[in-house]
Structure 1
Amino acid sequence: MNSNKLLSGLGLAMRAGKLVTGDEGVLDAIRTGKAKLVLLAVDASENTSKKFRDKCLTYQVPLIEYGTREQLGSSVGKAERVIMAVTDPGFAQVIARAKANLAEVE
Protein backbone atom coordinates (compact mmCIF):
# COMPACT_ATOMS: atom_id res chain seq x y z
CA MET A 1 0.00 0.00 0.00
CA ASN A 2 2.70 2.51 1.00
CA SER A 3 4.76 1.95 -2.14
CA ASN A 4 1.71 3.13 -4.07
CA LYS A 5 1.58 6.19 -1.84
CA LEU A 6 5.19 6.96 -2.65
CA LEU A 7 4.70 6.48 -6.39
CA SER A 8 1.40 8.37 -6.45
CA GLY A 9 3.12 11.20 -4.56
CA LEU A 10 5.60 11.38 -7.43
CA GLY A 11 2.75 11.47 -9.92
CA LEU A 12 1.08 14.33 -8.04
CA ALA A 13 4.36 16.26 -7.81
CA MET A 14 4.84 15.77 -11.56
CA ARG A 15 1.35 17.07 -12.37
CA ALA A 16 1.93 20.03 -10.07
CA GLY A 17 5.15 20.85 -11.91
CA LYS A 18 7.24 20.17 -8.80
CA LEU A 19 9.34 17.33 -10.21
CA VAL A 20 12.52 17.48 -12.26
CA THR A 21 13.74 14.38 -14.11
CA GLY A 22 16.93 13.53 -15.97
CA ASP A 23 20.59 13.94 -15.06
CA GLU A 24 21.12 17.56 -16.06
CA GLY A 25 17.85 18.87 -14.66
CA VAL A 26 18.33 17.11 -11.34
CA LEU A 27 21.98 18.18 -11.00
CA ASP A 28 20.90 21.76 -11.67
CA ALA A 29 18.10 21.51 -9.08
CA ILE A 30 20.57 20.18 -6.50
CA ARG A 31 23.17 22.89 -7.22
CA THR A 32 20.64 25.72 -7.14
CA GLY A 33 19.05 24.49 -3.91
CA LYS A 34 15.69 23.78 -5.59
CA ALA A 35 15.83 20.02 -4.93
CA LYS A 36 14.20 19.11 -1.60
CA LEU A 37 14.45 15.36 -2.18
CA VAL A 38 16.16 13.23 -4.82
CA LEU A 39 14.91 9.80 -5.90
CA LEU A 40 17.27 7.33 -7.50
CA ALA A 41 16.16 4.07 -9.11
CA VAL A 42 17.60 0.99 -7.41
CA ASP A 43 18.71 -0.27 -10.83
CA ALA A 44 20.65 2.91 -11.71
CA SER A 45 24.22 2.35 -12.90
CA GLU A 46 27.02 2.46 -10.34
CA ASN A 47 28.38 5.68 -11.89
CA THR A 48 25.00 7.41 -11.75
CA SER A 49 24.40 6.22 -8.19
CA LYS A 50 27.79 7.47 -7.03
CA LYS A 51 27.47 10.81 -8.83
CA PHE A 52 24.11 11.62 -7.24
CA ARG A 53 24.96 10.23 -3.80
CA ASP A 54 28.07 12.44 -3.71
CA LYS A 55 26.23 15.49 -5.05
CA CYS A 56 23.35 15.08 -2.57
CA LEU A 57 25.82 14.64 0.28
CA THR A 58 27.73 17.79 -0.72
CA TYR A 59 24.58 19.90 -0.98
CA GLN A 60 22.81 18.12 1.92
CA VAL A 61 19.80 17.03 -0.12
CA PRO A 62 18.06 13.86 1.12
CA LEU A 63 18.37 10.95 -1.31
CA ILE A 64 16.02 7.97 -1.48
CA GLU A 65 16.84 4.89 -3.51
CA TYR A 66 13.57 3.33 -4.46
CA GLY A 67 11.89 1.40 -7.24
CA THR A 68 13.11 0.38 -10.65
CA ARG A 69 13.53 2.80 -13.51
CA GLU A 70 10.30 1.40 -14.98
CA GLN A 71 8.34 2.02 -11.74
CA LEU A 72 9.66 5.55 -11.38
CA GLY A 73 8.95 6.36 -15.02
CA SER A 74 5.43 4.95 -15.05
CA SER A 75 4.59 6.75 -11.79
CA VAL A 76 5.00 10.07 -13.63
CA GLY A 77 3.59 8.93 -16.97
CA LYS A 78 6.96 8.82 -18.72
CA ALA A 79 9.35 6.25 -20.10
CA GLU A 80 12.05 4.92 -17.79
CA ARG A 81 13.39 7.43 -15.27
CA VAL A 82 16.52 6.78 -13.22
CA ILE A 83 16.76 10.06 -11.32
CA MET A 84 14.21 12.65 -10.15
CA ALA A 85 14.21 15.65 -7.86
CA VAL A 86 11.19 16.91 -5.93
CA THR A 87 11.30 20.70 -5.72
CA ASP A 88 8.40 21.24 -3.31
CA PRO A 89 8.96 20.75 0.44
CA GLY A 90 5.41 19.46 0.98
CA PHE A 91 5.66 16.77 -1.69
CA ALA A 92 9.18 15.89 -0.52
CA GLN A 93 7.84 15.36 3.01
CA VAL A 94 4.94 13.15 1.85
CA ILE A 95 7.26 11.00 -0.26
CA ALA A 96 9.94 10.74 2.46
CA ARG A 97 7.25 9.75 4.98
CA ALA A 98 5.87 7.08 2.62
CA LYS A 99 9.42 5.71 2.24
CA ALA A 100 9.95 5.71 6.03
CA ASN A 101 6.68 3.81 6.49
CA LEU A 102 7.84 1.32 3.88
CA ALA A 103 11.10 0.76 5.74
CA GLU A 104 9.16 -0.04 8.93
CA VAL A 105 7.08 -2.64 7.09
CA GLU A 106 10.02 -4.36 5.38
Structure 2
Amino acid sequence: MRWMTRTKHKALQMLGMAMRAGKLVTGDETVLKAVQQGKAKLVIVAGDASDNTKKKFRDKCASYKVKHVEAFDRITLGEAIGKSERVLLGVTDSGFSNSIAQSLTEPSEVEYID
Protein backbone atom coordinates (compact mmCIF):
# COMPACT_ATOMS: atom_id res chain seq x y z
CA MET A 1 0.00 0.00 0.00
CA ARG A 2 3.07 2.25 0.25
CA TRP A 3 3.04 3.01 -3.49
CA MET A 4 -0.37 4.67 -3.17
CA THR A 5 0.91 7.69 -1.28
CA ARG A 6 3.77 8.36 -3.67
CA THR A 7 1.57 7.83 -6.73
CA LYS A 8 -1.08 10.23 -5.48
CA HIS A 9 1.61 12.68 -4.44
CA LYS A 10 2.95 12.62 -8.02
CA ALA A 11 -0.56 13.44 -9.29
CA LEU A 12 -0.77 16.40 -6.92
CA GLN A 13 2.63 17.67 -8.07
CA MET A 14 1.48 17.44 -11.69
CA LEU A 15 -1.71 19.35 -10.86
CA GLY A 16 0.45 22.12 -9.42
CA MET A 17 2.60 22.16 -12.57
CA ALA A 18 -0.50 22.20 -14.79
CA MET A 19 -1.84 25.16 -12.79
CA ARG A 20 1.41 27.09 -13.18
CA ALA A 21 1.42 26.27 -16.91
CA GLY A 22 -2.11 27.66 -17.28
CA LYS A 23 -3.49 24.24 -18.26
CA LEU A 24 -6.01 23.95 -15.45
CA VAL A 25 -9.49 25.39 -14.91
CA THR A 26 -11.39 25.34 -11.62
CA GLY A 27 -14.93 25.94 -10.49
CA ASP A 28 -18.29 24.54 -11.54
CA GLU A 29 -19.13 26.85 -14.45
CA THR A 30 -15.60 27.11 -15.85
CA VAL A 31 -15.02 23.34 -15.80
CA LEU A 32 -18.48 22.71 -17.28
CA LYS A 33 -17.79 25.15 -20.11
CA ALA A 34 -14.39 23.53 -20.80
CA VAL A 35 -16.07 20.10 -21.00
CA GLN A 36 -18.78 21.36 -23.37
CA GLN A 37 -16.25 23.14 -25.60
CA GLY A 38 -14.05 20.06 -25.82
CA LYS A 39 -11.17 21.80 -24.01
CA ALA A 40 -11.14 19.65 -20.87
CA LYS A 41 -9.16 16.42 -21.24
CA LEU A 42 -9.64 15.28 -17.64
CA VAL A 43 -12.03 16.33 -14.89
CA ILE A 44 -11.13 15.69 -11.25
CA VAL A 45 -13.95 15.83 -8.73
CA ALA A 46 -13.11 15.92 -5.02
CA GLY A 47 -14.23 12.87 -3.08
CA ASP A 48 -16.06 15.13 -0.63
CA ALA A 49 -18.03 16.97 -3.34
CA SER A 50 -21.82 16.79 -3.06
CA ASP A 51 -23.54 13.79 -4.64
CA ASN A 52 -25.31 16.21 -6.98
CA THR A 53 -22.01 17.66 -8.23
CA LYS A 54 -20.48 14.19 -8.63
CA LYS A 55 -23.46 12.99 -10.67
CA LYS A 56 -23.62 16.16 -12.78
CA PHE A 57 -19.98 15.88 -13.85
CA ARG A 58 -20.01 12.09 -14.18
CA ASP A 59 -22.94 12.46 -16.63
CA LYS A 60 -21.50 15.49 -18.50
CA CYS A 61 -18.10 13.85 -18.88
CA ALA A 62 -19.71 10.66 -20.15
CA SER A 63 -21.80 12.47 -22.75
CA TYR A 64 -18.84 14.58 -23.96
CA LYS A 65 -16.41 11.64 -23.69
CA VAL A 66 -14.07 13.35 -21.23
CA LYS A 67 -12.03 11.33 -18.71
CA HIS A 68 -13.41 11.74 -15.20
CA VAL A 69 -11.89 10.73 -11.87
CA GLU A 70 -12.91 11.20 -8.28
CA ALA A 71 -9.84 11.79 -6.14
CA PHE A 72 -8.58 13.45 -2.98
CA ASP A 73 -10.67 15.97 -1.07
CA ARG A 74 -11.36 19.67 -1.62
CA ILE A 75 -8.60 20.84 0.73
CA THR A 76 -5.92 18.61 -0.87
CA LEU A 77 -6.93 19.69 -4.39
CA GLY A 78 -6.83 23.35 -3.40
CA GLU A 79 -3.43 23.02 -1.73
CA ALA A 80 -2.02 21.20 -4.77
CA ILE A 81 -2.72 24.20 -7.00
CA GLY A 82 -1.98 26.90 -4.44
CA LYS A 83 -5.58 28.00 -3.98
CA SER A 84 -8.29 27.69 -1.38
CA GLU A 85 -10.54 24.61 -1.35
CA ARG A 86 -11.42 23.27 -4.81
CA VAL A 87 -14.10 20.70 -5.60
CA LEU A 88 -13.59 20.60 -9.38
CA LEU A 89 -10.51 20.76 -11.56
CA GLY A 90 -10.42 20.52 -15.33
CA VAL A 91 -7.11 19.69 -17.02
CA THR A 92 -6.97 21.21 -20.51
CA ASP A 93 -3.67 19.71 -21.69
CA SER A 94 -3.46 16.15 -23.05
CA GLY A 95 0.02 15.53 -21.68
CA PHE A 96 -0.85 16.57 -18.13
CA SER A 97 -4.20 14.80 -18.39
CA ASN A 98 -2.66 11.47 -19.38
CA SER A 99 0.11 11.66 -16.77
CA ILE A 100 -2.26 12.60 -13.95
CA ALA A 101 -4.86 9.97 -14.88
CA GLN A 102 -2.15 7.31 -15.14
CA SER A 103 -0.60 8.21 -11.79
CA LEU A 104 -4.04 8.04 -10.15
CA THR A 105 -4.95 4.65 -11.58
CA GLU A 106 -1.78 2.64 -12.19
CA PRO A 107 1.20 2.20 -9.90
CA SER A 108 4.41 2.24 -11.89
CA GLU A 109 6.75 -0.71 -11.56
CA VAL A 110 9.61 1.55 -10.50
CA GLU A 111 7.74 2.59 -7.38
CA TYR A 112 7.87 -0.95 -6.00
CA ILE A 113 11.66 -0.87 -5.82
CA ASP A 114 13.08 -0.06 -2.38
- Structures share fold, TM-score greater than 0.5: yes
Give CA deviations for 1:21-77 in whole Å, capped at 9, x if unaligned: 000100000000000000000000011111101100110101010000000000000
Give, in whole Å, the separation in 2 of the partners of 1:27 and 1:76.
19
Q: Shift of residue 100 of structure 1?
A: 1.4
Partner of 1:83: 88
**1:59 maps to what in 2?**
64
* SS of equivalent to 1:85: strand
Gaps of 5+ in 1: none
Q: Please tell me the residue identity of whatever aligns with 1:18.
A: K
Aligned length: 103
- Partner of 1:4 in structure 2? 9
* TM-superposed deviation, 1:82: 0.2
Equivalent in the alignment of 1:72: 77
* Corresponding letter in the other structure for 1:82: V
**Runs of 4+ with deviation above 3 angstroms:** none
| Residues in 1 aligned to 2:106 and 2:55: alpha-carbon distance in whole angstroms | 25
In the alignment, structure 1 residue 20 sits paired with structure 2 residue 25: yes
Give the whole-Å Cα distance in 2 for the aligned partners of 1:12 and 1:68: 19
TM-score by length of 1: 0.94
Alignment TM-score, normalising by the size of structure 2: 0.88
* Selected match of 1:30 from 12, 35, 46: 35
CA distance in 1: counterparts of 2:79 and 2:54, whole angstroms: 20
Higher-Rg structure is 2
Partner Cα separation in structure 2 for residue 46 and residue 93 of structure 1:
26
What's the RMSD between the two structures over aligned residues?
A: 1.1
